[in-house]
Amino acid sequence: MQRFDAVDVTLPEIWASHARRDPQKPALVCDGQGLSWGDFNESMNRLANALIGAEVRKGDRVAVLVSSSIAACVAMFGAVKSGAVMVPVSGMLTSDQILTLLSDCEASIVIASADLRSLVDAIADRLPMLRTSGRIGTDFGGDGWVKLTDFCAGASAEEPRVALRGDDVFSIMYSSGTTGLPKGVVHTHAARVYFCLSNGFEMRFDGTARSLVTTALYTAGTWLMVMPTLFAGGTLHIHRQFRSDDFLDTLEAERITHTFTVPSQIHLILAGEGFAARDLSALKMMLSAGSPLRPDVKEHLIGLIGARFFELYGFTEGSSTLLRPEDQLRKPLSVGTPLMGQEMTIVDGEGRRCGPDEPGEIVGRGPGLLREYYGKETETEASIWRDEAGRTFIRSGDVGRIDAEGFLYILDRKKDMIISGGLNIYPTDLEAVVGAHPEVLDVTVVGIEHEKWGETPLALVVLRDGAGVTAGALLDWANARLAKHQRLCRVDLRDALPRNALGKVLKRELRDEYRRTPPASGAAA
């Protein structure tokens, strides 16, 4: 007897349905230009069919090195519609770092924008896996490159004839690499659908969503806005770079309903004077992710926008918690509870589940979890923790605790934790104290070498404009509020802190700097 096949609903099918239902509705807006859902879907289809015509097969890797733009979305998701595995690549990397990533994933096609072309040109002769005609420029051609419009010339705008299943690979996304060499995180189509469902449900997305992103499109954090917006059939507004005035102008003028920020951006927004005067009545939610937001900053923001602020903690691998508006003031130091259908727990160094408020490594699971680290069987196995029922969790590498109500608290990354005289010091605890000083705009704490204690904490501080406090006075102020074993050895004042594209402080870079030039004890201006 014949039976119906199991239905695998994929994102390309969902995008196509939006185009059929409302083809004139704006899908993407950037730099004053827009693309309707009908045109967006046809542009993706043309690229997909051109790739298929160039004998790109299901599962082949297509790397996308395109600055935030409409073209970046067409390139990324057009590659997905062809059945290829899309690999977003950061334009902040060096050519050699890009070489490592492209070699790791064995990309046969690279799509790049003109501003990032040189990064590929510098390593093209060391990429034997690239096809002869495998370099596609979104806005340029020549000298080994084919322009996207020429590549797609004559390609059909109809839906590609490729059957996608839930267990096919959607993307390989490389982790931010703040603590070492990035690993390729493999997600299936089914995992990406669940990602959209869970985040969309939790964060109030529907077809009326008008979302604004100002962070790079290749990052997992930015996808928290991009993917649910397109899943729901909303409109995505893209800023190529963040400027607080432009950000606020767009929020107000375009009646933005959803936006994604990182803590460093929130600091800049609140430092200005125009935020409170804006009409933000359309805003349903402002999401912060990348690193925990200081409680004092959080309280200030909530005072301005009310119960519309969400804070997310998660890992690229696919497990997250959300601190929802109703819990923001009740649990200000927490990053919330797991998203719908997900689970997180804490395990100790022996792999045993910890009890309430016991610190240990954060592990998580859920239907949006990665399938594997690409080509890294050993690393994949090492990242797995299994519970009493044999279910697999991903090890985060972060240290945290879960309270009796199930709320997660981040203490630090395992590699960022400072061990001084045999005692564990969690930099976030110290950052909260230093950050509470009224003249401190931004702060991070790292461990540096110490002859007696092994490591000792150092604070790197950015002051507010017009601040008069000295490094020495700030050191004394902070140490008066810290436990004896937590006390800072020194405060250094800086103009800015080095961060990656999602606003995470590059602590490894800072530690390396101080290994080269270890500071004396005390304070430095």
- Per-residue pLDDT tens for 240-271? 999 999 999 999 999 999 999 988 788 889 88
276 vs 390, higher pLDDT: 390
DSSP one-letter code for 464: P
Tell me whether residue 460 is exposed, middle or buried, using C-beta atoms within 10 angstroms of its C-beta: 0 to 12, 13 to 18, 19 or more.
buried
pLDDT over 60 (residue 307): yes
Q: Give the pLDDT confidence score for residue 523 in this predicted structure.
A: 58
In whole angstroms, give the CA distance from residue 394 to residue 369. Answer: 8
Query: Quick check: 398 and 412 in contact, CB under 8 A?
Result: yes
Q: What is the mean pLDDT of residues 15-22?
A: 98
DSSP one-letter code for 327: G
218 vs 233, higher pLDDT: 233
Q: Quickly count: other Cβ atoms within 10 Å of residue 465's Cβ.
A: 7
70 vs 100, higher pLDDT: 70
Q: What is the pLDDT of residues 30-80, one digit of tens each?
A: 999 999 999 999 999 999 999 999 999 999 999 999 999 999 999 999 999
Q: What is the pLDDT of residues 341-365, one digit of tens each?
A: 999 999 998 999 999 999 999 999 9
Give, in order, the Cα–Cα distances in Å from 331 to each of 136, 141, 295, 298, 393: 49, 53, 10, 11, 25
pLDDT over 50 (residue 177): no
Query: Locate tokens 């004998």: which residue?
Result: 55
Query: Quick check: 111 and 79 in contact, CB under 8 A?
Result: yes
Query: Quick check: 498 and 505 in contact, CB under 8 A?
Result: yes
In whole angstroms, give the CA distance from residue 101 to residue 93. Answer: 10
DSSP one-letter code for 120: H
pTM of the model: 0.82
In whole angstroms, give the CA distance from residue 392 to residue 131. Answer: 38
> Of 142, 145, 74, nearest to 109 (Cα)?
145
In whole angstroms, give the CA distance from residue 84 to residue 105. Answer: 12
Q: What is the mean pLDDT of residues 101-119?
A: 96
Give the 3-state secondary structure of residue 69.
coil
Query: Quick check: 362 and 414 in contact, CB under 8 A?
Result: no
Nearest-5° Cα angle at 267, 264 to 270: 150
DSSP 255-313: T--EEEE-HHHHHHHHHSSSSTTS--TT--EEEE-SSPPPHHHHHHHHHHH-TTEEEEE
Q: What is the pLDDT of residues 454-488, one digit of tens each?
A: 788 999 999 999 999 999 999 999 999 887 778 99
Query: Quick check: 182 and 176 in contact, CB under 8 A?
Result: yes
Confidence of residue 178 (pLDDT cuts 50, 70, 90): very low
344 vs 290, higher pLDDT: 344
Q: Which domains does the chain have, with CATH numbers?
A: 11-164 (3.40.50.980), 194-413 (3.40.50.12780), 421-524 (3.30.300.30)
- Residues 6+ positions from 422 with CB-CB distance below 8 Å: none
Round the CA-based radius of gyration of the chain to a whole number and report it.
24
